[in-house]
């Protein structure tokens, strides 16, 4: 059974009821979650039930070794994750024999997180689990829970290999959510080719987080990386410390009951400590950032939000044509119990069953578009007042209140000690913390009810994740605010200019490929090491298993005996699969000064993540890679605090092995098939953390890698290109730009990250004899992303064309056609030509 309904719709109760019943009847329950935080939160909820017969315990990396024996022998409700199941439980199934004999229910919570290569690995782990259970005579029910997913039954069948019933109707009550789409401004900084650099999403998120905390709005800020989460928290704390200092300086000055007439435009700061703004009030929160189309003109920034050299100031938004003119009746920044106005959009992921008003024609959720970098009615920002009058600041009840402002913000991410994470979760629930910058570690199911607002710094990858993160606010049924802050990326640019791609759309289908031989092979070895494989077992692992077993025997990984296939090596078979990577022997990451093993990176990713000079993050610490030794399988790193990030750049050649499917697409032809990709990382780009400014491009000398994978590609005949060439279009630059943008947009349709895919474009390809643009899966054997692109090609390429056209730059920038991993230095690129080329392909322009 899969329950696929929205956030806070009662899924936990739906599986807790049969789970507790199973424990009361003498059975056991296995609960799987993608994150330790969610397991700890579920354990807390179970213990609050105070049912003596339910002996619940977590079994993961945080579990002390002295407790693990007790868990194996006595716990009847075990909470763990796929990593521990893969490496710690299934290989030692004999120690868990009593637990497996009585196993009645397997709960797979937040299963929409199992997609792509990681999802394919989890699918095989669940098949190994079914096989071990059968060995001990149990056949548990698998109960999956997810935020609303497209085709949940189909996905669940691919994940578990079992037939599935599905529950998709969501009738749970929900408050309204005001959703803002936020595009940071272009700055005066210039990147490659003189392209403008947009202010970073993390810098905008830090400003917003500080503002909302000052306004007493309990806020969660989701940031894509661990370092990004730390940066947002530190920056917000610094801004709050400035405010605390300013307030303490003027704490004893008289506070007039009537503001001076010259200060009337700044009187909005008296609302900072109010729980919300009354709709009839003329006061606004500090540095108001136009979170709604009807918010009035912003006033100058207070001192804690003054611009600096690394954080250019936000500029005034220019609203999309068709939005309403400013109204004196603005909505509250912090939602309250009042009902929304009829035109105010309150989208919800379960739009098929939502009773909330949907965006109307010409009135979308607010999309912030910066067309100019200037302050209103001023020629020179230096002429602006440097501070607001102290009389208009909100005075705290006592000086300690303002001194504690920075302590109201913290960071949360994987890598913290378990007790530290639990303390942060408790502080956020209690309200002693008002702002928390986090990675997606808090996305999945952790009960942090009572939040008022959520900031999402950068597209989180899927609509399912977007609604999951936005759903962290308003979980008690109250109204909420959610803000998606766009990164300098083609997909983010497209979304803030096309709200219809988010609202009123079902979430995407989850893509995974359990039959990928580079995933299945290591798990067949692991299964044989657990229990020798027999002919009767093969149906569990899919139709490609028999042929693959012969290859594993040939490679010497398994031995064939009359009774089946055996693992006979001394090594651990589970080490063959890095389930968070793509399989293969991992590269060990070692701290050079101490010899401490920090972690591992799968070999295919090592060239781009731990090359010499790379910035490597591990559990919140930052390291610089001193040396990557591929032969020894080691990357030596040293602790460092650089103010930049690194992006590997490669050059790629591709050859077509076979075209599996093809059909006409507009005036061209679309193909899906097998390809061989030769990639060589040639350099890495350094970009400043806060501003995104390019600091340099350093060469690298790494060997080429060959990848057999699957790709989608399209071609155009020469006759269709003649008019473009006659108009002076650089066909190679146009194809190159279209390739970059299409890679950026495919994650909207294929549930992947742009770093999971690659591309090649050429004016004349040797295998096709035509102008050709390829987009391929970046994992051995493919991961299903290119196949999804083939199925959605018309929508995908139309969105690609719109993303390029809607970007406000003139010649191309990272928000549309530039790529941080382009080995050719983003040359040549032709923005105008890419639009014309895609128009020609899609048949939307005249011959």
Query: 3-state SS string over 511-538?
Result: CCCCCCHHHHHHHHHHHHHHCCECHHHH
Q: What end-to-end distance do the CA atoms of the chain give, in Å?
A: 53
Determine the average pLDDT of the residues in 764-780.
93
Alpha helices in 315-411 (DSSP H): 399-403
Q: How far apart, in whole angstroms, are the C-alpha atoms of residue 387 and residue 246?
A: 10
What pLDDT is attached to residue 448?
A: 62
| DSSP, res 801 | H
Handedness of CA 499, 500, 504, 505 (dihedral sign): negative
What pLDDT is attached to residue 490?
A: 85
- pTM listed for this prediction: 0.64
Q: Is the pLDDT of residue 211 over 70?
A: yes
Q: What confidence tier does 846 reach under pLDDT thresholds 50, 70, 90?
A: very low
Task: Tokens 């032709």: give the residue.
Answer: 830
Instruction: Name the residue with higher pLDDT: 227 or 199.
Output: 199
Choose among 521, 463, 530, 412: nearest CA to 7. 463
Are residues 330 and 288 in contact, defined by beta-carbon separation less than 8 angstroms?
no
Q: Is the pLDDT of residue 377 over 90?
A: no
Regarding beta strands 480-485 and 177-182, do their DSSP bridges make them parallel or antiparallel, or are they unpaired?
A: parallel
Determine the average pLDDT of the residues in 335-344.
35
What pLDDT is attached to residue 675?
A: 97
Determine the average pLDDT of the residues in 753-771.
90
Q: What confidence tier does 762 reach under pLDDT thresholds 50, 70, 90?
A: very high
Q: Is the pLDDT of residue 754 over 50?
A: yes
Residues in CB range of 712: below 8 A, 6 or more apart: 670, 671, 672, 774, 775, 776, 786, 787, 789, 790, 793
Choose among 181, 177, 505: nearest CA to 366. 181
Quick one: residue 421, left, alpha or beta (phi over 0 = left, psi -120 to 50 = alpha)?
alpha
| DSSP, res 360 | B
Q: Is the pLDDT of residue 72 over 50?
A: yes
Q: Is the pLDDT of residue 294 over 70?
A: no
Are residues 845 and 839 in contact, defined by beta-carbon separation less than 8 angstroms?
yes
Count of beta carbons in the 10 Å neighbourhood of residue 767: 13
Determine the average pLDDT of the residues in 606-622.
83
Q: What confidence tier does 288 reach under pLDDT thresholds 50, 70, 90?
A: very low
What pLDDT is attached to residue 700?
A: 93
| DSSP, res 576 | G
Q: Is the pLDDT of residue 581 over 90?
A: no
Count of beta carbons in the 10 Å neighbourhood of residue 356: 16
DSSP structure string for 649-688: EEEEEEEEEEEEEEEEETTEEEEEEEEEEEEEEEEEEEEE
The phi and psi torsions of 70 (rounded to 5 degrees) equal: -60, -40
Q: What confidence tier does 831 reach under pLDDT thresholds 50, 70, 90?
A: very high
Q: What is the mean pLDDT of the chain?
A: 78
What pLDDT is attached to residue 425?
A: 77
Choose among 730, 735, 695: nearest CA to 715. 735
DSSP structure string for 116-178: HHHHHHHHHHHHHHHHHHHHTT--PEEEEEESS-BSHHHHHHHHHSS---EE---------EE
401: which 2 tokens? Answer: 């209140």
Determine the average pLDDT of the residues in 784-801.
93
Determine the average pLDDT of the residues in 203-222.
93
Determine the average pLDDT of the residues in 101-122.
90
What pLDDT is attached to residue 262?
A: 32
Strand order in the sheet with 409-412: 367-368, 177-182, 480-485, 453-457, 219-223, 435-438, 409-412
Cα–Cα distances in angstroms (integers) from residue 228 to residues 222, 234, 566, 818, in the given order: 9, 10, 46, 22
Task: Tokens 């010409």: give the residue.
Answer: 362
Are residues 492 and 178 in contact, defined by beta-carbon separation less than 8 angstroms?
no
Task: Tokens 């986090």: give the residue.
Answer: 438
Q: What confidence tier does 772 reach under pLDDT thresholds 50, 70, 90?
A: very high
- Dihedral (C-alpha) 627, 633, 638, 641: value to the nearest 10 degrees? 90
Choose among 735, 737, 744: nearest CA to 762. 735
Instruction: Name the residue with higher pLDDT: 91 or 506.
Output: 91
Are residues 346 and 356 in contact, defined by beta-carbon separation less than 8 angstroms?
yes
Task: Tokens 């024999």: give the residue.
Answer: 97
Q: How far apart, in whole angstroms, are the C-alpha atoms of residue 635 and residue 623?
A: 11
Q: What confidence tier does 39 reach under pLDDT thresholds 50, 70, 90?
A: confident
Instruction: Name the residue with higher pLDDT: 138 or 10.
Output: 138
Q: How far apart, in whole angstroms, are the C-alpha atoms of residue 163 and residue 4?
A: 16
Instruction: Name the residue with higher pLDDT: 329 or 217.
Output: 217
Determine the average pLDDT of the residues in 544-566.
93
Choose among 171, 153, 173: nearest CA to 162. 153
Q: What confidence tier does 301 reach under pLDDT thresholds 50, 70, 90?
A: very low
| DSSP, res 86 | I
What pLDDT is attached to residue 441?
A: 66
Cα 282 versus chain centre, distance: 37
What pLDDT is attached to residue 611?
A: 94
Determine the average pLDDT of the residues in 626-637.
92
Determine the average pLDDT of the residues in 786-813.
91
Q: What confidence tier does 271 reach under pLDDT thresholds 50, 70, 90?
A: very low
Helix (H) or strand (E) holding 430: helix 418-430
Q: What confidence tier does 491 reach under pLDDT thresholds 50, 70, 90?
A: confident
377: which 2 tokens? Answer: 């009615």
């Amino acid at each position: 059974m899969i329950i696929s309904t929205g956030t806070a719709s009662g899924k936990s109760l739906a599986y807790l009821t049969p789970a507790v019943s199973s424990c009361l009847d003498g059975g056991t329950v296995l609960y799987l979650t993608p994150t330790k935080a969610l397991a700890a939160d579920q354990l807390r909820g179970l213990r609050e039930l105070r049912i003596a017969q339910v002996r619940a315990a977590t079994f993961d990396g945080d579990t002390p070794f002295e407790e693990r024996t007790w868990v194996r022998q006595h716990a009847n409700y075990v909470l763990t994750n796929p990593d521990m199941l893969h490496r710690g439980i299934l290989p030692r199934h004999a120690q868990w024999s009593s637990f497996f004999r009585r196993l009645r229910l397997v709960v797979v919570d937040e299963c929409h997180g199992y997609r792509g290569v990681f999802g394919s690995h989890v699918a095989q782990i669940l098949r190994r689990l079914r096989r071990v259970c059968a060995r001990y005579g149990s056949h548990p029910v698998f109960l999956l829970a997810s935020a609303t997913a497209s085709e949940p039954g189909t996905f669940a069948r691919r994940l578990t290999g079992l037939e599935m019933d599905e529950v998709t109707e969501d009738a749970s009550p929900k408050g309204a959510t005001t959703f803002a789409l936020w595009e940071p401004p272009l700055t005066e900084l210039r990147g490659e080719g003189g392209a403008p650099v947009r202010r970073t999403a993390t810098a905008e998120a830090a400003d917003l987080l500080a503002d909302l905390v000052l306004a007493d709005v309990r806020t969660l800020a989701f940031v894509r990386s661990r370092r990004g989460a730390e940066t947002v928290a530190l920056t917000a704390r610094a801004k709050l410390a400035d405010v605390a200092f300013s307030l303490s300086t003027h704490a004893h000055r008289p506070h007039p009951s009537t503001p001076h007439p010259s200060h009337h435009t700044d009187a909005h700061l008296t609302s900072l400590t109010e729980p919300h703004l009354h709709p009839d009030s003329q006061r606004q929160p500090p540095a108001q950032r136009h979170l709604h189309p009807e918010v009035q003109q912003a006033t100058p920034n207070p001192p804690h939000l003054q611009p600096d050299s690394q954080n250019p100031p936000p500029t005034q938004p220019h609203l999309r044509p068709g939005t309403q003119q400013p109204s004196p009746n603005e909505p509250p920044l912090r939602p309250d119990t009042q009902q929304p106005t009829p035109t105010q959009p309150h989208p919800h992921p379960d739009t098929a069953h939502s009773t909330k008003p949907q965006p109307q024609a010409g009135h979308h959720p607010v999309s912030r578009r910066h067309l100019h970098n200037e302050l209103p009615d001023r020629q020179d920002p230096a002429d602006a007042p440097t501070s607001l009058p102290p009389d208009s600041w909100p005075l705290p009840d006592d000086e300690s209140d303002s001194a504690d402002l920075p302590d109201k913000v913290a960071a949360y991410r994987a890598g913290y000690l378990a007790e530290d994470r639990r303390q942060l979760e408790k502080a956020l629930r209690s309200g002693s913390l008002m702002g928390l910058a986090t990675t997606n570690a808090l996305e999945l199911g952790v009960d942090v009810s009572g939040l008022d607002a959520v900031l999402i710094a950068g597209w989180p990858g899927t609509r399912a994740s977007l609604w999951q993160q936005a759903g962290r606010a308003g979980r008690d049924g109250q109204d909420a605010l959610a803000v998606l802050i766009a990164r300098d990326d083609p997909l983010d640019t497209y979304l803030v200019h096309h709200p219809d791609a988010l609202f009123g759309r079902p979430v995407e289908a989850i893509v995974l490929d359990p039959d990928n031989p580079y995933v299945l092979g290591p798990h067949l070895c692991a299964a044989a090491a657990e229990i020798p494989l027999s002919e009767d077992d093969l149906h569990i692992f899919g139709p490609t298993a028999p042929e693959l077993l012969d290859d594993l025997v040939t490679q010497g990984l398994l031995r064939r005996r009359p009774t089946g296939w055996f693992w006979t090596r001394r090594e651990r078979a589970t080490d063959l699969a890095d389930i968070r990577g793509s399989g293969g022997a991992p590269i060990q990451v070692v701290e050079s000064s101490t010899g401490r093993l920090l972690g591992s990176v799968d070999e295919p990713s090592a060239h781009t993540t731990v090359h010499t000079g790379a910035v490597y993050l591990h559990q919140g610490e930052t390291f610089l890679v001193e040396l990557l030794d591929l032969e020894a399988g080691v990357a030596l790193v040293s602790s460092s605090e650089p103010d930049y990030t690194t992006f590997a750049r490669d050059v790629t050649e591709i050859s077509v092995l076979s075209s599996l499917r093809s059909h006409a697409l507009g005036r061209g032809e679309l193909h899906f098939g097998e390809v061989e990709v030769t990639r060589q990382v040639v350099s890495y780009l350094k970009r400043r953390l806060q501003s995104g400014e390019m600091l340099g491009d350093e060469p690298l000398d790494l060997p080429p890698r060959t990848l057999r994978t699957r790709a989608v590609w399209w071609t155009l005949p020469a006759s269709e290109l003649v008019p473009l060439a006659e108009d002076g279009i650089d066909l190679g630059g146009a194809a190159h730009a279209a390739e970059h943008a299409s890679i950026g947009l495919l994650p909207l349709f294929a549930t992947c990250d742009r770093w999971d895919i690659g591309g090649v474009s050429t004016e004349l390809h040797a295998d096709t004899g035509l102008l050709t643009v390829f987009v391929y899966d970046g994992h051995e054997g493919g991961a299903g992303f290119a196949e999804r692109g083939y199925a959605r090609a018309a929508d995908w390429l139309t969105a690609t064309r719109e993303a390029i056209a809607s970007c406000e730059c003139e010649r191309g920038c990272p928000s549309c056609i530039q790529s941080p991993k382009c080995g050719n230095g983003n040359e040549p690129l032709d923005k105008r030509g890419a639009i014309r080329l895609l128009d020609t392909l899609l048949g939307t322009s005249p011959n």
